[in-house]
Structure 1
Amino acid sequence: MELAEHLSEFTQRDWQTVTDPDDRIRFALIGLGWFTEGAVIPALAESALCEVGTVVSGDRNKAARVRDEAGADRALTYDEFHAGEGRSNYDAVYIATPNATHLDFVESAADFGKAVLCEKPIAATTTHAERIAEACNDAGVMLMVGYRMHTNPAVRRMRELVSEGFVGDPVLVEGGMCQNVFEMISPDPNQWRLDADLAGGSALIDLGIYPLNTARFVLDTDPVSAQGTTTSSDDRFTEVDQHVSFEVEFEDGITAACVASQYAQQGSHFTVIGTDGRLTLDPAFFGEAQLAVRRGGAEADFSVEPVNEVAEEFDYFADRLLSGRDPVPDGEHALVDMRAIEAIYESAETGERELIKG
């Protein structure tokens, strides 16, 4: 079989079980920043499984505007959400507020018996992450964390090929993600991503989590130790890491070497190198992932129709909820990342390799 033919044997939505639901999942969108307005709401507009039921903001006027623009039923302030108003207008919540505030919204949603889709990282600290997972477990509600790469067809095909032994034994992973946060997100030097208390970090926790988590997903294994260094040369990054480089070792001896920066030319890549070949995503993490494969002297591209990763993520969540199946990136999954991130930050302070607490 030709290499290209082998690559083509893949179902794009291999995870989908629900195609014609009796009801769509109505979301309460909590946090109406640029990503929710510019990416999430348009994605839900094209979904067959999801819709906007309620919008929630700290700004009452903004909530009302977004409600009207998105065709939502209700607009709530944060206080009104926590008080339980409008609970009949949504089935699940999507949380896209600053990292340190996730816990309060998850706890309220769990008290209301609502399923939770929480943006990554799950929290600003491991302690908060543990409490989030516990709150959802205790309430018996589904918790999924927003790792969009899990539903990207190119990434899922990469995972399959690794599992099939296509590259032999995986040996090394290389990954990186860089952006200029003042151009991509906001020019404001006081934005919350640069506030250590609200964000928990910057380059590592916001961007480095992409190659870290994708490595875990593709290799289907977890890291056991880590080391890293962080630097912040720009005065706007006085509280958080501007650049990070880190290396993690996995349970089976594979290592991943990764870099991330919040103030650099935008770009991303991700490569798995094995004893018999290599798999590369370039670009990897900005919604345009395409897979290139090399084994021996043969090379081929796995080309897929462009997908809206946000729409795929929400539909996957809805599919799991409607079918009663557990999502893969749940709270326990996200906790592993938080513990690895904690170890990398500790290593940057101590200069030593740190074990990842289990």
Structure 2
Amino acid sequence: MTIVAGIVGAGRIARVHAEVLYDHEAIALEAICDVHTQRARALATAAEAESYTDYRTLFREGGLDAVYIATPPGIHLDIVRAAAHNGIAIFCEKPLARTVANGQAIREVIEDQDVPFMMGFPSRFAEPCRRMREFLADGDIGDPITVFSTRAGHGEPEEEDWRLDPEQACGVSIESASHNIDMLRWLGGEIESVSGRTANATHPEIESFDDNMLATVTFEQGAIGLLQNSWTSRVEYLRHGVIGTEGAVLVEGDEWWRLDRLTYATETDDYPRTIAFDAETATGMGYSGETDAFIESLSADRSPPVTVYDGLRAVEISHAISGS
């Protein structure tokens, strides 16, 4: 079974997905759509696909089975509505939406139209993170006591970036920290309460923008958690981990988008042990792994593993942090 796919958006993350889809044996990447004509044509040429500037035309005429939405989150709702109306399966980049109301509206569309929908959280599919979760699932470190996810780097948006458009801006707490929030929920279960702070050190003139955030959470099963994200740090790092009743496991990297090692210790270990990964391969596996999971779910006619609810919860928790 070959899935005919298209991408709406032709920016950085769209290029990442285009490379994965182009190389996938079960996918025919047929179309790239972006309101910027030259950008759409450039990516379409590289992917040997057709270019469009209007996603509505693409959905009516492109013969798509699935679409990857890789646009700013403020316009996700309209694109989701159009795709769902045409019966097209949807893969949506994070964050799901800029506001909770729009996130809830997207969920309603998906449920009402009953179309397959998968949220893009690639960290779940990166090998270091999957290995870390196996320690939890196998009971090697006992029950979680503390779960944490932290990320920092120098990622201030460029002047023409949509992240600095007052009508589109949502800042690090929604745009980037959605990864951290989803990781906490994936490792620790549902989050019951949250308390946090955000800071805007670089663009105070944009009310909806922030570039640093820090929060503590409590999980329904009783564990506590920490999440932190920064776009202004000159020192880069990425860390996810769990401290359990019978051990601990940590995955980390010295670049804010890449993981290259897992360290663990259980009650039977005399000292911590470390497993090394190739950072580029591990990061790439996140994107290829989520597409594999999406396509497999479509082929098997089952629900994708990362749901619209997962995307909505990330948006809800982000807003709870900024409003606490």
Instruction: Say if 2:71 is the partner of 1:94.
Output: no
Q: Which residue of 1 aligns with 2:298?
A: 321
Q: Aligned to 1:75, which of 45, 51, 72? A: 51
> What is the percentage of aligned positions where both structures have the same residue?
25
Q: Aligned to 2:39, which of 53, 62, 65? A: 62
Task: Assess if the C-alpha contact under 8 Å between 1:272 and 1:278 holds in 2.
Answer: yes
Q: Which runs of 5+ in 1 are unaligned?
A: 1-22, 348-358
Instruction: Say if 2:232 is the partner of 1:232.
Output: no
Q: Distance in 2 between matches of 1:304 and 1:83?
A: 40
Instruction: Say if 2:230 is the partner of 1:261.
Output: yes
Instruction: Say if 2:318 is the partner of 1:334.
Output: no
Task: Assess if the C-alpha contact under 8 Å between 1:49 and 1:315 holds in 2.
Answer: no
Q: Which runs of 5+ in 2 are unaligned?
A: none
Corresponding letter in the other structure for 1:87: G
Instruction: Say if 2:249 is the partner of 1:275.
Output: no
Pairs within 5 Å for 1:99-178? 99-178=73-152
Q: Which residue of 2 aligns with 1:215?
A: 184
Farther off after superposition, 298-307 or 116-125: 298-307
Report the CA distance between 1:287 and its aligned residue. Answer: 3.8
Query: What SS class does the counterpart of residue 197 from structure 1 fall into?
Result: coil
Query: What SS class does the counterpart of residue 168 from structure 2 fall into?
Result: helix
Corresponding letter in the other structure for 1:32: A
Query: What SS class does the counterpart of residue 342 from structure 1 fall into?
Result: helix
Q: Distance in 2 between matches of 1:237 and 1:295?
A: 49
Q: Which residue of 2 aligns with 1:298?
A: 271
Distance of aligned partners of 1:285 and 1:157 in 2 relative to their CA distance in 1, 3 Å threshold:
farther
Structure 2 length as normaliser, TM-score? Answer: 0.90
Distance of aligned partners of 1:285 and 1:160 in 2 relative to their CA distance in 1, 3 Å threshold:
farther
Farther off after superposition, 249-258 or 40-49: 40-49
Q: Which residue of 2 aligns with 1:12?
A: none
Q: Distance in 2 between matches of 1:236 and 1:51?
A: 44
Task: Assess if the C-alpha contact under 8 Å between 2:3 and 2:66 holds in 1.
Answer: yes
The two structures, once aligned, show a CA RMSD in angstroms of 2.0
Deviations, residues 36-83 of structure 1 (Å, cap 9, x unaligned): 12x1222223222223111101022332232222111x21112x5357
Distance of aligned partners of 1:292 and 1:237 in 2 relative to their CA distance in 1, 3 Å threshold:
farther
Q: Which residue of 2 aligns with 1:197?
A: 167
Q: Distance in 2 between matches of 1:140 and 1:267?
A: 40
Report the CA distance between 1:285 and its aligned residue. Answer: 6.1
Report the CA distance between 1:274 and its aligned residue. Answer: 1.1
Q: Distance in 1 between matches of 2:58 and 2:162?
A: 25
Structure 1 length as normaliser, TM-score? Answer: 0.82
Q: Distance in 2 between matches of 1:205 and 1:250?
A: 20
Distance of aligned partners of 1:215 and 1:237 in 2 relative to their CA distance in 1, 3 Å threshold:
farther
Report the CA distance between 1:86 and its aligned residue. Answer: 2.2
Q: How many pairs align?
A: 315
Report the CA distance between 1:268 and its aligned residue. Answer: 1.0
Corresponding letter in the other structure for 1:135: V
Q: Distance in 2 between matches of 1:109 and 1:245?
A: 35
Q: Distance in 1 between matches of 2:131 and 2:205?
A: 37
Farther off after superposition, 96-105 or 132-141: 132-141
